[in-house]
């Protein structure tokens, strides 16, 4: 893979908003404070949630006005130059991306040709994320239906590990998301499940360039999200947030459902989390997104 030249890298960096260099200095959040996630947790969202605007710059401006500091794109599938320009114009971070087609073209597929295609997509996502100024690629590694847990484990660790040198070269973390993919949890099990398997899975890569993009809502059905956060600890590099109702057994808006956000917040403070949390709920116009940002503030005590 061709690396960017020093001249090219500096040209790209010049297009980024100043806050992209030192996000912890963002005046919207202030300095970190003891006993609070203020100054530690930054709000971002998925690009698909922004249902207004035609260009990236328009969508970025809407997200920024709604109260978000960052946005996640889908990669590959966008123009990095356009994305950098939109970030420079609006002051919105491109904090990371979501890997395209990871549900359909999986690293766990029994067919080596499909796994090779999944790797190619991941490598392209890493390069485009770097080119746009982002620092992580969210990845669903596979699906339990592709074989036994041992087979899915071995295939995905082997395949994703091939991308680690590229991730290290470009400074982009491969962030594995915990999702309902029938892997590393018992889909027919109860609410007392732990994050033990996810801990062992991330550790199997033995690399600082593979971490956990922990979705707070995805596994509330199966266990305590606060305890899972405590178990995963520094393996967590980013967060997603959505609501979930155990009573109704369905996903909900952030401020509905019954997730124990007080315990989640306490756990994040215990592991000394500093970083991004992405809303992953239904999208809408600017007014709707402002409500989502406000719900995140309330959930984490940021307001």
Which tens digit of pLDDT belongs to each residue from 192-211? 999 999 999 999 999 999 99
Q: Give the pLDDT band (50/70/90) at residue 35.
A: confident
Whether 30 shows a pLDDT value over 70: the answer reads: no
Average pLDDT of 138-161? 98
In a 3-state reduction of DSSP, which class is residue 129? helix
Q: Give the pLDDT band (50/70/90) at residue 303.
A: confident
Whether 189 shows a pLDDT value over 80: the answer reads: yes
Residue 273 · residue 236 · CB < 8 Å: yes
Q: In DSSP terms, which residues pair with 263 in a beta bridge?
A: none
Whether 1 shows a pLDDT value over 70: the answer reads: no
In a 3-state reduction of DSSP, which class is residue 189? coil
We report the CATH number of the domain holding residue 203 as 3.20.20.150
| Domain assignment present for 18 | no
| Domain assignment present for 8 | no
Whether 10 shows a pLDDT value over 60: the answer reads: no
Average pLDDT of 149-171? 98
Which tens digit of pLDDT belongs to each residue from 78-118? 999 999 999 999 999 999 999 999 999 999 999 999 999 99
Label the pairing between strands 250-252 and 173-177. Answer: unpaired
| Domain assignment present for 23 | no
Mean pLDDT of the chain, nearest integer: 91
| Domain assignment present for 33 | no
Across the chain, where does the E strand assignment appear? 41-45, 70-75, 93-99, 136-139, 173-177, 210-215, 236-241, 243-245, 250-252, 275-279
| Domain assignment present for 11 | no
| Domain assignment present for 10 | no
Per-residue confidence (pLDDT) for residue 33, from 0 to 100: 61
DSSP summary character for residue 286: H
**Tokens 């202030």 found at:** 30
Q: Give the pLDDT band (50/70/90) at residue 31.
A: low
Residue 244 · residue 252 · CB < 8 Å: yes
Whether 16 shows a pLDDT value over 60: the answer reads: no
**pTM for this entry:** 0.89
Whether 61 shows a pLDDT value over 60: the answer reads: yes
Average pLDDT of 64-83? 98
State the residue range of the domain holding 233.
39-300
| Domain assignment present for 12 | no
Look at the chain and report how many structural domains it folds into. Answer: 1
Which tens digit of pLDDT belongs to each residue from 236-289? 999 999 999 999 999 999 999 999 999 999 999 999 999 999 999 999 999 999
**Tokens 């029938």 found at:** 182
| Domain assignment present for 20 | no
The strand order across the sheet containing 93-99 reads 41-45, 275-279, 236-241, 210-215, 173-177, 136-139, 93-99, 70-75
Q: What percent of the chain has pLDDT over 90?
A: 88
Per-residue confidence (pLDDT) for residue 34, from 0 to 100: 67
């Amino acid at each position: 893979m061709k690396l960017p030249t020093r001249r090219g890298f500096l040209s790209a960096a010049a297009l980024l908003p100043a806050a992209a260099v030192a996000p912890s200095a963002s005046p919207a959040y202030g300095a970190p404070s003891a006993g609070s996630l203020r100054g530690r947790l930054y709000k971002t969202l998925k690009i698909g949630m922004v249902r207004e605007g035609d260009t990236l710059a328009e969508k970025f401006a809407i997200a920024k006005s709604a109260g978000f500091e960052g946005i996640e794109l889908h990669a590959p599938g966008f123009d990095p130059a356009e994305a950098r320009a939109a970030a420079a114009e609006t002051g919105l971070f491109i904090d990371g991306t979501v890997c395209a087609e990871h549900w359909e073209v999986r690293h766990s597929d029994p067919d080596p040709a499909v796994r090779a295609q999944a790797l190619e997509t991941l490598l392209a996502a890493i390069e485009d994320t770097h080119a746009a100024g982002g620092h992580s690629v969210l990845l669903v590694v596979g699906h339990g239906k592709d074989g036994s847990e041992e087979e899915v484990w071995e295939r995905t660790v082997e395949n994703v590990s091939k991308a680690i040198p590229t991730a290290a070269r470009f400074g982009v973390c491969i962030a594995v998301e915990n999702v309902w993919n029938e892997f590393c949890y018992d889909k027919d099990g109860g609410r007392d499940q732990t994050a033990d398997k996810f801990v062992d899975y991330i550790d199997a890569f033995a690399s600082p360039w593979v971490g956990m993009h922990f979705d707070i809502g995805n596994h509330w059905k199966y266990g305590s999200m606060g305890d899972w956060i405590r178990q995963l600890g520094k393996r967590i590099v980013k967060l997603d947030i959505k609501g979930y109702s155990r009573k109704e057994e369905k996903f909900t808006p952030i401020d509905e459902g019954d997730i124990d956000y007080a315990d989640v917040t306490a756990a994040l403070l215990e592991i000394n989390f500093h970083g991004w949390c992405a809303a992953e709920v239904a999208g809408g116009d600017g007014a709707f997104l402002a409500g989502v940002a406000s719900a995140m503030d309330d959930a984490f005590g940021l307001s």
